[in-house]
Structure 1
Amino acid sequence: MQMVRAGLKAIYLSGWQVAADANTASAMYPDQSLYPANAGPELARRINRTLQRADQIEHSEGKKSVDTWFAPIVADAEAGFGGPLNSFEIMKAYIEAGAAGVHFEDQLASEKKCGHLGGKVLIPTQAHIRNLVAARLAADVMGVATLIVARTDAESAKLITSDIDERDREFIVSGERTPEGFYTLRNGVDACIARGLAYAPYADLLWWETSTPNLDDARRFAEAVHAKYPGKMLAYNCSPSFNWKSKLDEASIARFQREIGAMGYKFQFVTLAGFHQLNYGMFELASGYRDRGMAAYSELQQAEFASEAKGYTATRHQREVGTGYFDAVSIAITGGASSTTAMSESTETAQFKPAAE
């Protein structure tokens, strides 16, 4: 809700974060597709229901602070959790949950890793195209124009399952096999370009997962794709797995997104900013509370009050979750005769005065 209030135009649903703390197994996992396949769609549904509640609350108050609460969700379908049929099903599930876009990566689902971990195994180009076709078929069957994002991990993956696809052979190191039978891969930007060009007819956006925030490499990929597919939309992960200050100076960081935007990277996102913000914020509060008691919490509260001038609303937590909305429902049901409404006699109403007051 606060992301939309702050003015962000889209929401990224991260598989990494689903694995870590938002999956239906109620377990903490690394980003290796270990969580149940329905967890991502369920989180998309929860997000949309939260946005729906925010819209209902404002409507009941006669307010309209944002143009629309229903920011599009771009969701992580990992490597499809299997083959084409699995990709078909998870695409349907995400559509039912209200996702506006879904991305699929070209890793072997059973060995899937975060793009910034080792041990990644690619599937043949033609195999990933089948997954993309399956996702498009699901959208067609559902009758919606959900965007498909094709991601390649060929920049850093070192293994591939098979040499069956001619397009992959120039990147396979001849004669080298692993104990699991995988082929050794010559990875890099060229491999990403080859796969990006192959995936372009089957996806609305192309995303190549990078190891560093490198403008020259970003330009090289974009120019190669646009030479054959002018105007093809691209996606870029401004990843928390990069140590940004070790790679770029402050001025370069400040203009980074503007520059890649000019190259055609239309969807730019931080895959797990929420994880870092929530953990750092709670660590700071807990440390302060340990040392200074309620003075630390009061400082947080005063910072919240100060942020209300910019549109922040969660200071008033009772209102934020819909207490006043359900009071309005109760009053409507009883014709105004309810004596059990909650907000009017709350400490929040008495003590948390609006900024204008």
Structure 2
Amino acid sequence: RIEYSIAKLASHKLWNLLNTEPYIATFGALTGSQAVEMAKAGLKAIYVSGWQVAADNNLSNQTYPDLSLYPSNSVPNLVKRLNNALLRADQISWSEGKHDIDYLLPIVADAEAGFGGPIHAFELTKALIEAGAAGVHFEDQLAAEKKCGHLGGKVLIPISAFIRVLNAARLASDVLGVPTILIARTDALNAKYLSNDVDETDNQFLTGK
């Protein structure tokens, strides 16, 4: 059995922070050097933003709007690069007899709307764990119509469909043996559309228009 030690250690660190700190201040990192400097500055976690990846660090080498247009393995690739940089900084620090900075910070990665259905969410979560992510967050938009949360015209999926996405992500973490922190967020505050009315739980929010 493969031991995903970086992701496992980071997940435990993130869980401990969530249970002992009133909040966790962090920034989005686009490069390994930025991640290392964040550790030196005393941050306790690092964020990988889908918006940033779309704009400036995706595997298509393009500048995209925040519409999930970039290849779905772009975020796992960046998480891996950040962890490699942090590991190298940690190795150098220990070789110099310095132990005052914790470079192995937990990384929380943006999984957008999962880039598809539950199967896609499973594979994306698996890739993020393999890259060393401690936490992964999903949003409840329809993946094919995903938009930046600040834009209008957002389409949500039924609650039951979103639960299936989250269950698939949890299954991936269970299969890999890592207690990944899953974060579910909703765009329901400003969204006007629902992909369908199959879930009775959503009926209270339907206007018939």
TM-score by length of 2: 0.82
- 2:180 aligned residue (146, 155, 159): 146
1:18 maps to 2:56: no
- 1:43 aligned residue (78, 100, 110): 78
In 2, Cα distance between equivalents of 1:17 and 1:156:
22
- 1:33 aligned residue (34, 57, 68): 68
Percent of residue pairs identical:
64
In 2, Cα distance between equivalents of 1:20 and 1:65:
34
What is the CA deviation profile of residues 308-349 of structure 1, one whole-angstrom value per residue up to 9, with x for unaligned ones? xxxxxxxxxxxxxxxxxxxxxxxxxxxxxxxxxxxxxxxxxx
The CA deviation at 1:167 is: 1.1
The CA deviation at 1:61 is: 2.2
In 1, Cα distance between equivalents of 2:43 and 2:196:
41
Any idea what SS the aligned residue of 2:138 has?
Answer: strand
The CA deviation at 1:60 is: 2.5
Aligned to 2:38: 3
Deviating 4+ runs (over 4 angstroms): none
Any idea what SS the aligned residue of 1:148 has?
Answer: strand
Any idea what SS the aligned residue of 1:102 has?
Answer: strand
Q: What 5-or-longer segments of structure 2 have no aligned partner? A: 1-35
In 1, Cα distance between equivalents of 2:147 and 2:67:
5
Task: Tell me the amino acid that sits aligned with residue 44 of structure 1.
Answer: V
In 2, Cα distance between equivalents of 1:63 and 1:5:
12
The CA deviation at 1:119 is: 1.6
Listed as ranges, the matches of 1:102-181 within 5 Å are 102-174=136-208, 176=209
- 2:135 aligned residue (91, 95, 101): 101
In 1, Cα distance between equivalents of 2:141 and 2:183:
14
In 2, Cα distance between equivalents of 1:120 and 1:104:
15
The CA deviation at 1:104 is: 0.7
1:78 maps to 2:112: yes
Aligned to 2:15: none
The CA deviation at 1:169 is: 1.1
- Decide which structure has greater helix share: 1
In 2, Cα distance between equivalents of 1:143 and 1:4:
27
TM-score by length of 1: 0.48
What is the CA deviation profile of residues 151-206 of structure 1, one whole-angstrom value per residue up to 9, with x for unaligned ones? 111001111100111111111111x2xxxxxxxxxxxxxxxxxxxxxxxxxxxxxx
The CA deviation at 1:64 is: 2.3
Q: What 5-or-longer segments of structure 1 have no aligned partner? A: 177-357
In 1, Cα distance between equivalents of 2:153 and 2:104:
37
In 1, Cα distance between equivalents of 2:51 and 2:140:
16
In 2, Cα distance between equivalents of 1:160 and 1:135:
22
Whose relative contact order is higher, 1 or 2, with alpha carbons under 8 Å and at least 6 apart?
2
Aligned to 1:56: 91
The CA deviation at 1:56 is: 1.7
The CA deviation at 1:118 is: 1.3
Aligned to 2:24: none
